[in-house]
């Protein structure tokens, strides 16, 4: 059976960036698997715009050459801010062709520990050993559905990640649950597609980003003060943003403070540019779901304030809840030997789990390194940390 030094699972922003960085280590045999940018291409709605700002949307590469600007120049087709989803997908695929043309698009179906290293099995049955494994497989298996919706027909209730094209709901009454970007943008896209969309959420009010007060204040403060308050990574509000951009510092704080800051940095919020698009979409806040019942081809949703909605579909913009035991390719015994907290792996330097040689990047790394790791802008930190760890080992 063949053997390699490092296997990377997933060709989204984290896997691409990790592979491009690790390839700079002389003599290291790195193999990257997965369909490039497939989560963004298949599990986000057409017409979506990225919430992250331009500077926070480059996928890190070692030479700082594969930026959004470089992609624009090479495609000869400039695009606006906020970055449209389809252009971001094309950017990631361009990045892959430039830096990693030998990507293997096969799916990895199993990773297990063995005395010869990790045994990796591909969808077609091929197996090989790998000294290290880097999991950069994203959040798709972690889509969270409130228990009331767990056993309902997906034709009546579905998670936002199940849709690529919301135009299929044209002419229908659709209730969107949630108050974050995904729920709000889905409601806007549904309305624009001709559905009668409405939003319901537990939150008492919606947090709009880049509000009038903050925009005016920041304009008055000027670039120098703004740059002191906000890191280019664009995660978290003024001041906190700088701390979130430094995961190694954040990690040194007491756990309770880390948790508090993390919650504050990534609370559900909507981009300011959605406000106008939601003018005609009813938004009902401060209510939790009490019960759900299907009546023929409709759903009756009752809330804890006694109100009821009777709709043709419920779209769950309820986010993701990390639990690495849900990665279908990780052997059960392997998962059990990884130190975990609430589904998150406990990671050391180099984003390495308690199983030596097994690294996990992206959102599952957020418990250890903070919410930066949930976003594209965290690829800079993650890839450099990985290179430091692996290059260090190679050197010794």
Ligand X SMILES: Cc1cc2nc3c(=O)[nH]c(=O)nc-3n(C[C@H](O)[C@H](O)[C@H](O)COP(=O)(O)OP(=O)(O)OC[C@H]3O[C@@H](n4cnc5c(N)ncnc54)[C@H](O)[C@@H]3O)c2cc1C
Residues numbered 297-316 forming contacts with ligand X, rule: CB under 6 A: none
Q: Site residues for ligand X, window 176-195 (CB under 6 A)?
A: 182
Is 270 a binder of ligand X (CB under 6 A)?
no
Q: Is residue 317 within the footprint of ligand X (CB under 6 A)?
A: no
Is 376 near ligand X (CB under 6 A)? yes
Is residue 95 part of the contact set for ligand X (CB under 6 A)? no
Q: Which of 8, 20, 103, 136 contacts ligand X by CB under 6 A? A: 136
Nearest distance from residue 305's CB to ligand X, in Å?
Answer: 28
* 142 binds ligand X per the rule CB under 6 A: no
Q: Tell which positions 377-396 bind ligand X, by CB under 6 A.
A: 377
User: Interface with ligand X includes 35 (CB under 6 A)?
Assistant: yes
| Cβ nearer to ligand X, comparing 362 with 370 | 362
Instruction: Compute the distance between CA of residue 193 and CA of residue 298 in angstroms, rounded to an integer.
Output: 20
Q: How many residues touch ligand X (CB under 6 A)?
A: 29
Rounded alpha-carbon distances, angstroms, from residue 233 to 10, 14, 220, 278:
22, 15, 22, 27
Nearer to ligand X, 43 or 98 (CB): 43
Among 8, 21, 38, 350, binds ligand X (CB under 6 A): 38
44 belongs to the binding site for ligand X (CB under 6 A):
yes
Contact status: 200 vs ligand X (CB under 6 A): no
Q: Which stretch binds ligand X (CB under 6 A): 135-143, 207-215, 258-266, 301-309?
A: 135-143
Q: In angstroms, what is the minimal distance from the CB of 383 to ligand X?
A: 11
- State yes or no: residue 53 binds ligand X (CB under 6 A): no
Q: Which member of 8, 21, 32, 33 binds ligand X (CB under 6 A)?
A: 33
Burial code (b: 16+ CB inside 10 Å, e: under 16) for 235-274 equals bbbeebbbbbbbbeebeeeeeeebeebbeebbebbbbebb
58 is a site residue for ligand X (CB under 6 A): no
Q: How far is the CB of 389 from ligand X (least distance, A)?
A: 18
CB 60 within 8 A of CB 35: no
Q: Is residue 236 part of the contact set for ligand X (CB under 6 A)?
A: no
Residue 329 sits in the site that holds ligand X (CB under 6 A): yes
The binder of ligand X chosen from 6, 14, 189, 367 (CB under 6 A): 14
Q: Does 149 bind ligand X (CB under 6 A)?
A: no
Distance CA 135, CA 329 (A): 10
Q: Within its chain, how far is the Cα of 183 from the centroid?
A: 15
Interface residues with ligand X (CB under 6 A) are: 9-15, 33-35, 38-40, 44, 50-52, 107-108, 136-139, 182, 329, 362, 375-377
């Amino acid at each position: 059976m063949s053997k390699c030094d490092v296997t990377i699972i997933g060709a989204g922003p984290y896997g691409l960036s990790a592979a491009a960085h690790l390839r700079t280590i002389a003599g290291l045999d790195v193999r990257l698997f997965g369909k490039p940018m497939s989560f963004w291409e298949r599990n986000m709605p057409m017409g979506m715009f990225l919430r992250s700002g331009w500077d926070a949307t480059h996928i890190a590469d070692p030479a700082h050459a594969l930026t959004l600007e470089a992609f624009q120049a090479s495609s000869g087709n400039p695009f606006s801010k906020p970055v449209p989803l389809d252009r971001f997908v094309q950017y990631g695929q361009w990045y892959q062709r430039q830096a990693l043309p030998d990507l293997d698009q096969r799916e990895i179906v199993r990773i297990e520990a063995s005395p010869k290293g990790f045994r990796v099995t591909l969808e077609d049955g091929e197996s090989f050993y790998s000294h290290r494994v880097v999991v950069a497989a994203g959040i798709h298996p972690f889509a969270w559905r409130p228990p009331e919706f767990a056993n309902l027909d997906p034709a009546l209730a579905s998670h936002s990640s199940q849709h690529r094209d919301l135009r299929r709901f044209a002419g229908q009454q659709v209730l969107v649950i949630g108050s974050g970007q995904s729920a709000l943008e889905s409601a806007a896209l549904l309305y624009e597609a001709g559905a009668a969309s409405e939003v319901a959420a537990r939150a008492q009010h919606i947090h709009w980003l880049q509000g009038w007060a903050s925009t005016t204040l920041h304009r008055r403060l000027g670039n120098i003060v703004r740059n002191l308050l906000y890191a280019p990574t664009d995660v978290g509000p003024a001041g906190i943003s700088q701390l979130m951009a430094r995961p190694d510092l954040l990690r040194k704080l007491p756990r309770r403070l880390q948790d508090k800051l993390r919650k504050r940095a990534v609370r559900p919020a909507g981009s300011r540019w959605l406000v106008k698009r939601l003018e005609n979409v009813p938004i009902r806040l401060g209510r939790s779901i009490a019960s759900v019942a299907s009546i023929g081809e409709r759903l009756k949703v009752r809330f804890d304030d006694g109100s009821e909605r009777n709709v043709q579909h419920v779209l769950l913009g309820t986010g993701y809840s990390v639990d690495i035991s849900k990665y279908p390719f990780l052997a059960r015994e392997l998962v059990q030997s990884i130190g975990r907290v609430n589904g998150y792996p406990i990671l050391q330097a180099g984003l390495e789990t308690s199983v030596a040689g097994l690294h996990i990047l992206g959102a599952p790394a957020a418990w250890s390194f903070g919410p930066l790791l949930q976003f594209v802008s965290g690829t800079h930190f993650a890839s450099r940390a990985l290179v430091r760890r692996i290059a260090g080992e190679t050197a010794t």
